[in-house]
Amino acid sequence: MIELMIALVISGVLFSGLMAIFIANLDHYRRTIDINRLTEELQAIMSVMTTEIRRAGYSGTANVDIGTHTNTNPFMANGVDINVDATKDCILFAYDHNSDGILPSISSSYDDERYGFRLLKNQVMNTGTAAVNVIQTRGYGGTYSCTPSSGDGWQNLSDVHLINITNLQFTLTTDTMTTGPGSTGIAMRSVDITLTGQLVYDPTVTETLTEHVKVRNDEYIGNDGGEEQVYQGRQ
């Protein structure tokens, strides 16, 4: 009888230990899945942003300006050219998506070739739930502005039910290389992106990604005749 009771106690201890190991492994497996899911979502968002930003300033007809000492590329004009706002959580840019060299008027009926990404904070999904931050992208006809407003045509890029974006930072850097007399040279732009997110249902799962984006279309600046000579032709 005593031997049986001892055996039952030992079996119970062993079973409890095995269950503890099983539960720990199960929790580790679940957390690994959560981390992978968050990483994949953030990587997809980062890929969209880097691909688009890299094209900034492209014009399909920029070659017509070569030798003319003029700049007719509308995709790098003031108010349209790549720009990061003061808070560094929004970027605006334009490029010639259909390669016709024409910047169309703003319209929701077609691709008006103006783009942007921004961090929109404190979005409430449902009543009683915590607010989350979301990355938005400018839709056709949306306001070409970093300042959010009701019905401004910007659309969510990140999933508010899955990810809370805790940080989005764009740093625009311009390096100028002198290639001739006076101010003649090349303006080379790049954007550094920092993106941090956490799972909505488990804020302890967090991930940060960084990316350096070289804008393909450099700005060639010449002081011949006091005018700016620019060529951008890579999408």
pLDDT at 163 over 90: yes
Query: Which pLDDT belongs to residue 25?
Result: 58
| 74 occurs within a structural domain | yes
| 194 occurs within a structural domain | yes
Output 136 or 130, whichever has higher pLDDT. Answer: 136
| 20 occurs within a structural domain | no
Domain enclosing residue 42, as ranges: 31-104+163-226
pTM reported for the whole predicted model = 0.82
Query: Which pLDDT belongs to residue 231?
Result: 45
| 97 occurs within a structural domain | yes
Cβ(144)–Cβ(92) below 8 Å:
yes
Query: Which pLDDT belongs to residue 228?
Result: 39
Residue bearing tokens 């764009």: 170
The model's confidence at residue 103, banded by pLDDT at 50, 70 and 90, is very high
> Could you report the per-residue pLDDT of 8-37, keeping only the tens digit for each?
666 666 656 666 665 655 565 566 777 789
| 146 occurs within a structural domain | no
Sequence-separated (6 or more) residues with CB below 8 Å from residue 57: 73, 75, 76, 81, 82, 93, 94, 95, 189, 215, 217, 219, 232
CA 170 to centroid of chain Cα atoms: 8
Query: Which pLDDT belongs to residue 224?
Result: 47
Number of folded domains that form the chain = 1
- State how far the Cα of 168 lies from the Cα of 192, in Å rounded to an integer: 11
| 235 occurs within a structural domain | no
Output 225 or 119, whichever has higher pLDDT. Answer: 119
Long-range CB contacts (within 8 A, 24+) of 204-207:
205/31, 205/34, 205/35, 205/38, 206/38, 206/166, 207/35, 207/38, 207/39, 207/42
Q: What percent of the chain has pLDDT over 90?
A: 57
Output 127 or 137, whichever has higher pLDDT. Answer: 137
| 19 occurs within a structural domain | no
| 118 occurs within a structural domain | no
SS3 state of residue 55 = coil
- State how far the Cα of 69 lies from the Cα of 17, in Å rounded to an integer: 80
